[in-house]
Amino acid sequence: MIANTIKKQAKILSGAEFSEVIKREVAEEVKRLEKEHGFRPCLVVVRVGDDKASEVYVGNKVKTSRELGIVSEHEHLPAETTEQKLLETIENLNRRDDVDGILVQMPFPKHIDENRILEKINPEKDVDGFHPINVGQLAQGQKSLAPCTPAGVIEMLKRSNIEIAGKHAVIVGRSNIVGKPMAMLLLQKNATVTVCHSRTKNLSEITSQADILVAAMGRAGFIRGEHIKEGAVVIDVGINNVSDVTEARELFDETEIEKRLRTIEKRGFTLVGDVNPKEAREKAAYFTPVPGGVGLLTVAMLMRNTVDAAKSRRLK
C-alpha cells in the first residue's frame, strides 16, 4: 500500500485581504459623511520621543488615514516633553470640535505616567479604546470603542464565517491592550473563555483544548504543535524579531525558510509571531501568518474606530 504523504495544511487567514475590505468600507463611509453631513473624520496621532518602531507605526497610521480620506495630523513632541505639557496637548485636542480621534502612541518616555495620559483623553475620542470608561463599557458588554487589535481578530473570525458562540477560546496573554479586551470581546460573542498568563500551570494542557487559540505573549514561536488541538483556529497576535538562523530553521518549513533567511541576511531579522508556524500549519484548521495577519487588521480597525467615533459624537 502506498502511504499517504500529502500533508494537511491549515487555511491561512490573510490579514491583507480582510484589511483591504475594511479599509474600502471605511473610505466609502468617509465619502458618504462628507457628502451627506459635510465633514470628514479627523484623527490626531501624538508621538513623544524618537522610538524607531513608534515612528514606523505612526507613519503607517497617518498614511492609511490620508489614503481613506480621513483628515490626519501628526503631533511629534520631543522626548523631554513634560507630562504636564502632554496633558495640555491632549486637553487642547479634547476641546477641538474638528478632532474625532486622539491616539497617543505608546510606549511613552519613562517620566510620563501612562495611566494619567490615557485617562485624560476624552473617551468619545479614544480610538485606541484604552480609556477606563471604554474598558468598563466593554466589560459590561455595552457598545464602546474597542481596542483595535482584538477587534480586528473578531472581524477576521466573523468575515471567515468561523463560529465563535459555544466554542472554547483560550487566550495566552492578559495585557490591557490585547489579552484582556480579547477575552471580553470573545465573551460578548458567547465563547467560553480561558485566559492564560506566565503563572499558568500546564499551559499546553489548557491550550490544547482550545477551539480558538489566541497567542498574545511576545515570545517568538512559543506555541508549538503540542499546544494546539487538531483542527483548531490559531490566531497569532505576536510580533517578534528573530535574527538567529538556527532558530529560524526551527520555525519555517521548506516553502518559507529560504525567503526568511534572505530577510535575516538583508535586514538582520525576520518577523515571527508567538506560534511556531511550521507546526501550527500541520495541526490547525486556520492560521494567521506573521507578518501579513492580525497586524494589518489593527490599522484598519483604527480607521473604523475613528469613523465610528466621529459618527457617535457629531451625529448625536
Chain residues binding ligand NDP by CB under 6 A are: 149, 172-175, 177-179, 196-200, 203, 216-219, 237-240, 294-295, 298
Q: How many CB atoms lie within 10 A of CB 277?
A: 25
Residues paired with residue 42 on neighbouring β-strands, in sequence order: 71
Q: Is 66 helix (H, G, I), strand (E, B) or coil?
A: helix
Strand partners, 170: 194, 213
Identify whether 8 is a catalytic site residue. Answer: no
- Report, in Å, the least distance between residue 107 CB and ligand NDP: 10
Nearer of residues 99 and 154 to ligand NDP, judged by Cβ: 154
Catalytic hit among 23, 100, 105, 189: 105
Among residues 23, 100, 126, 128, the one annotated as catalytic is: 128
Nearer to ligand NDP, 178 or 191 (CB): 178
Spatial CA neighbour of 122 closest among 90, 144, 154, 149: 90
Min separation Cβ 48 and ligand NDP, Å: 18
Query: Which residue has its beta carbon closest to ligand NDP?
Result: 175
Does the annotation mark 128 as catalytic? yes
**Has 274 been annotated as catalytic?**
no
Under 8 Å between Cβ of 314 and 132: no
Nearer to ligand NDP, 71 or 173 (CB): 173
State the minimum distance, in angstroms, from the CB of residue 10 to ligand NDP.
Answer: 18
Q: Kindly name the residue from 61, 125, 278, 283 that is annotated as catalytic.
A: 61
**Distance, CA of 133 to CA of 119 (rounded, Å):** 9
Q: Strand, helix or coil at 286?
A: strand
Asked if 98 and 42 count as a contact pair (C-beta separation under 8 A), the reply is: yes
CA 236 – CA 234 distance, rounded (Å): 6
**Complete DSSP assignment for 25-50:** HHHHHHHHHHHHHS---EEEEEEES-
Shortest Å distance, C-beta 195 to ligand NDP: 9
- Amino acid of residue 83: E
Closer to ligand NDP by CB, 168 or 219: give it: 219
Q: Least separation, in Å, of the C-beta of 301 and ligand NDP?
A: 9
| Among candidate residues 184, 187, 149, the one with its CA nearest the CA of residue 166 | 187
Q: What is the rounded distance in angstroms from the CA atom of residue 188 to the CA atom of residue 142?
A: 9
Closest CB to ligand NDP among residues 99, 127: 127
Residue 53 in grid coordinates = 518602531
Closest approach of ligand NDP to the CB of residue 7, in Å: 27
Residue 25: what are its φ and ψ, rounded to 5°?
A: -60, -40
Four-residue CA torsion sign, 131, 302, 49, 81: negative
Cβ-based nearer residue to ligand NDP, 172 or 234: 172
Give me the active site residues, please: 61, 105, 128
